[in-house]
A and B are shown apart, each in its own frame.
Chain A
Amino acid sequence: MVWEFARYKDNTALTDEWDTHVTYGELDKIGEDIRRAVGERCLVFVMCQNRIGSVVGYASFVFHGIVPVLLSSHLEKELLDNLIRMYEPKYIWAPEEQMAEYDSYDCEKVYGIYGYSLLKTGFETEHPLNDELCLLLTTSGSTGSPKFVRQSYANVESNARSIVEYLKIDENEKPITTLPMNYTYGLSIINSHFMVGAKILMTDKGLMQKEFWNFFRSEEATSFGGVPYTYEMLERLRFFQMDLPSLRYMTQAGGKLTPELHKKFAEYAEQTGKEFIVMYGQCEATARMGYLPAEKALEKCGSMGVAIPGGEFHLIDDNGNVVAEPHVTGELVYEGANVTLGYAECGADLMKGDERGGVLRTGDMAQFDEEGYYYIVGRKKRFLKIYGNRVNLEEIDHMIKGKFGNIECASTGKDDHMYIFVTEEAIAGEVKNFVVSMTKLNPAAFKTIVVDKIPKNDSGKTLYRELAKYYE
């Protein structure tokens, strides 16, 4: 069992800005009701929002051995339909106002609470589920790839336990949601705080909204997490001048913060008696792998720190040999109990067991210094982090070619800025609109650039480095 809801039965588990409160005791009881309504262990699609109903459903499923797939409730319809047809979930847990969208699956509402409904689908076949499988998450929430990460009960529990340990969290904490719960980092905040019986402040409002800060102040939030973009926004909001006495610490993950911003937030934390903790993680390792202890935030600015309790890092060179010298780049490898089972790419994969054996090659290139602190210096695979979301560039190219009849195109760029190269000026605007609509990310992150031809080598491979001159 990942959590002990009964142990904290009188503590508040969830609160929202409309004064809805759910205690751990109620969570336990609702969980029983949901378990009865569902019947037996099966697959459920959870259409997530940062609302109490969404979390209550998720927690109940995990608590009772029902396997949730966590998806954004704003996922593009076509992508969602594709996933539903592919995995044939027995139930869908969705916001009431979206119920009509699932009519085509012969859904019947069998239970509902806090604005969410449990819909039984008409699928007759069920994909067998491996006993260890706890939940499924997408690697790139945005492109709707049918690839899920398979996380086990042991993964979720061990990662939550490490987080509790290195962030020193207890039942007095009150984290406020700033990240989607279907995003591995956002989910890890929920999972770790449930473990200690803390109170989670649920809001779907963002940093740029007055309601968020009113809720923050009235409930006296003690922490929040953010991706690099969150911290850029906070700086613009003149965060350093805000009076937030309840705030104890801030965490950052989901991409590398610029060293300048890292320094500014570390200095702010030092001056105000708060903590700023830079972390490193991936969905493939449940959520988190590394953290930079707050007391090192300034001294090791730009570093993502050391492995979390129970984990270990090392680097390997091109030949697979372990890098022993500091300041030498190698691929970062992580070992620990939170390394997930593997991927699922279709319903039949849900039966698979552990394919990784506790070892994850992260695909990130890193170095360590003389004292063993790690620094991310690049990536092996072609993807960008856009506002903290992993966006696979191969998938983007593939989607564009699928939509526009195999046109010449190549997407590349830097974090938060994607550049899509095309050769036909007439469709450049359409291509951008298409990518925006599929990823559901702000258009400001995307630019199309028209070139005479996409540079390629003799074997037909795109030379992305040559494209860099257009945007660097």
Chain B
Amino acid sequence: MTNYEKYLNVFVESFSVSADDAVNLEYQGIPEWDSVGHMGLVAAVEDTFDIMLDTDDIIDFSSFVKGKEILSKNYNIEF
């Protein structure tokens, strides 16, 4: 699986959404992605990529797109 596939899969699994919907997701855009969902998402991202996100990155992780940007910029994950 590529990093992109892994990343996409985290969203699909965490929020029970389709891949098409996942790429457009934003924080609070769906009921599943509230603060509780965010905590689950962060845990899943950390497990998947074996990283520990910083506080600033956790609270900045406000959309599918933004999250990808954070991972590539601050955690050297290539997409």
Residues on A lying within 8 angstroms of B by beta carbon are: 206-210, 212-213, 229, 232-233, 236-239, 241-242, 387, 436, 440-445
Contacts and interface: CB of A to CB of B under 8 A. Distances in A.
Contacts of B35: 206-208, 233
Contacts of A210: 56, 59-60, 62
A444 B55 CA distance: 22
A283 B31 CA distance: 26
Contacts of A212: 59
B78 to A, nearest CB: 25
Contacts of B55: 237-239, 241-242
9 contacts: A208-B59, A212-B59, A233-B35, A236-B39, A236-B58, A238-B55, A239-B55, A436-B31, A443-B32
B32 A442 contact: yes
B12 interface: no
A193 to B, nearest CB: 23
A239 B62 CA distance: 19
Question: Mostly helix, strand, loop or mixed at chain A's interface?
Answer: helix
A213 B32 contact: no
Nearest to B54: A238
Contact of A444 (B27, B36, B59): B36
A441 B34 CA distance: 9
Given A210-B59, A237-B59, A444 B40 contact: yes
Given A213-B59, A237-B59, A208 B39 contact: yes
Nearest to B37: A442
A440 B31 contact: yes
Nearest to B43: A236
Contacts, number: 52
Contacts of A441: 36
Please classify the interface of chain B as helix (H, G, I), strand (E, B), loop, or mixed, using the class held by over half of its residues.
helix
B58 A208 contact: yes
Contacts of B60: 210
Interface of B: 16, 27, 31-32, 34-40, 42-43, 54-56, 58-60, 62
Nearest to A211: B59
Nearest to B52: A238
Contacts of A442: 31-32, 34, 36-37
A445 to B, nearest CB: 7
A444 B37 contact: yes
B59 A209 contact: yes
Nearest to A441: B36
Contacts of B31: 436, 440, 442-443
B63 to A, nearest CB: 12
For B16, B32, B34, B42, the residue with the greatest tally of chain A CB atoms inside 10 Å of its CB is B34
A207 B42 CA distance: 14
Nearest to A212: B59
A212 B56 CA distance: 12
A67 B24 CA distance: 44
Nearest to B56: A210
Contacts of A241: 55
Contacts of A206: 34-35
A232 B32 CA distance: 18
A387 B38 CA distance: 14
B66 to A, nearest CB: 11
A208 B40 contact: no
A241 B57 CA distance: 14
A443 B38 CA distance: 12
A215 to B, nearest CB: 12
A213 B58 CA distance: 12
B43 A229 contact: no
A443 B30 CA distance: 11
A224 to B, nearest CB: 14
A443 B34 contact: no
A435 to B, nearest CB: 13
A105 B62 CA distance: 38
A232 B35 CA distance: 11
Contacts of A239: 55
A233 B39 contact: yes
A241 B58 CA distance: 14
A236 B58 CA distance: 9
